[in-house]
Amino acid sequence: MIEKYFIKLQTIDRIRANWLGEPIERYVAWLDDRGYGSRNVFRRVPLLMRFSTYAQSNGAKAWEDLPQHVPGFVSGWTREHGLNRRTDRSRKSVANEVRGPIEQMLRLILPDFSLTGRRKPFPFADQAPGFLAHLRDERGLRPGTLHSYQQYLRQMEAYLKDIKASSLRELSPAVLSAFITRQSAGCGTTMLVGLCGVLRVFLRYLFREKLIAQDLSQTIEGPRVYRLSSIPRSISWTEVERMLAAVDRRSVVGKRDYAILLLLVTYGLRGREVAALTLDDLDWERERLKVPERKAGHSTAYPLSPIVGQAIIDYLKNGRPQRSDRHIFYRVTAPFDPMTNGGVSTRASYYLHKAGVPVPRPGSHTLRHTCVQRLIDAHFPLKTIGDYIGHASPESTAIYAKVSIENLREVALGDGEEVL
């Protein structure tokens, strides 16, 4: 692969003769496969060659020895190339520019590097090493949910460090209450409910494994949340049209985002479900769209709307990068990886803001709520709507039926006395 970027045979021979020649060549192939430009290869290969020399001169004899030499090399490089950087932020950017390529290469050749490199291990991994496996293997939680657990427990880890509590055995109702009180000042009800739920699961696990003396999960009392107390985050169809009109469909980004927005608002899909769609989920012959592995544990097959189908075809022909992976939607800049749940939601939020549509917590779920509200207004049964959007129970759909949007609009216009 390096022959694609380097013409001189001496240069190619020098790279391959290096003791890290094979990892460097593998890394170049990785960059090429993900659509990085030539300038990235020309800048990163010399950097990796210098790191190779530094590590070897400092005693590295095997690839497994490389991670321990990364901090020293990054510090030296930052001192050498960050002399003209006046702020800590700009000096940090120099460090990140050199650390990134090295760690990307190390992740390719060392399967366990993500545990020993820059990424932090799972919270309390030293005191409760089996908790992550418990969540993943016993409870079957998805990566997104595991990330939420990680964020909440990291907050607790930082709090215990602040109060000089070195062991989980020092946990008590008073400590937990103080922690939740402090966190409640900076988060809403939904986040606080999530935090309390995570703590209960964690504390039950600690007690089960005899890592703490008593079951403290019973002492965690979250905020009281009343069923059907919130208002759906739907927008009107006029606002949907305004949002779609804000998409510049001449660009690659616009072609991709237009197809994503149509999928969200037409079928009420979750952001995760859109990100997971593959070419195999499109049945052009029967004009069907299949959504596998939904949250409720089943799959759904929809008639493929002509408007949605045309938008997807436009993106596939004129926007999607040529990748061997079967995912439909990709990033438009290197690395050309499939889009994530967060990426889908971010694009929806971007166009809602761009169109000037006021909505609390804008994102992909706003369009999902809009799809459901439109079906409610058309007087479809809750069971039918729940099946359409992938709800496991009609109770999950009931939240959308509690507000008669059209009647409330009549009241707001001043002629709703008859409605009342």
Which CATH number does the domain housing residue 318 bear?
Answer: 1.10.443.10
pLDDT digits (tens, 9 = 90+) for 22-73: 999 999 999 988 888 889 999 999 999 999 999 999 999 999 999 999 999 9
- Residue 148's Cβ-count burial label (10 Å; 0-12, 13-18, 19+) is middle
Distance, in Å, from the CA atom of 134 to the CA atom of 146, rounded to the nearest integer, reads 11
Catalytic status, residue 147: no
Residue 28's domain comprises 2-116
Residues 376 and 286 in one domain: yes
Contact of 307 with 315, CB cutoff 8 Å: no
Contact of 235 with 348, CB cutoff 8 Å: no
Residue 419 lies in a domain: no
pLDDT digits (tens, 9 = 90+) for 218-247: 999 877 766 655 666 788 999 999 999 999
pTM over 0.75, yes/no: no
**Given 99, 270, 320, 369, which residue is catalytic?**
270
Catalytic status, residue 294: no
Catalytic status, residue 391: yes
**How many domains would you assign to the chain?**
3
Please give the pLDDT value at position 36. Answer: 87
Which CATH number does the domain housing residue 139 bear?
Answer: 1.10.150.130
Domain closes at, from 55, 83, 116 = 116
Place of tokens 């496969």: 33
Residue 332 lies in a domain: yes
Contact of 111 with 97, CB cutoff 8 Å: no
Residues 278 and 206 in one domain: no
**Given 44, 255, 374, 391, which residue is catalytic?**
391
Catalytic status, residue 353: no
**Given 99, 368, 369, 374, which residue is catalytic?**
368
**Given 26, 118, 134, 295, which residue is catalytic?**
295
What is the full DSSP assignment across 350-362? HHHHHTT---SS-
Q: How is the beta sheet containing 282-283 ordered, strand by strand?
A: 282-283, 288-291, 300-303
Residue 334 lies in a domain: yes
**Given 81, 134, 365, 388, which residue is catalytic?**
365
Residue 126 lies in a domain: no
Which residue type does 259 have? A
Q: Is the pLDDT of residue 397 over 80?
A: no
Pick the closest to residue 44 from 55, 30, 57, 58 (CA basis).
Answer: 30
Residue 125 lies in a domain: no
Catalytic status, residue 270: yes
Distance, in Å, from the CA atom of 207 to the CA atom of 139, rounded to the nearest integer, reads 17
Residues 286 and 392 in one domain: yes
Catalytic status, residue 365: yes
Residues 258 and 398 in one domain: yes
Residues 254 and 209 in one domain: no
Residues 203 and 260 in one domain: no
Between 295 and 362, the higher pLDDT residue = 362
Residues 107 and 20 in one domain: yes
Residues 324 and 293 in one domain: yes
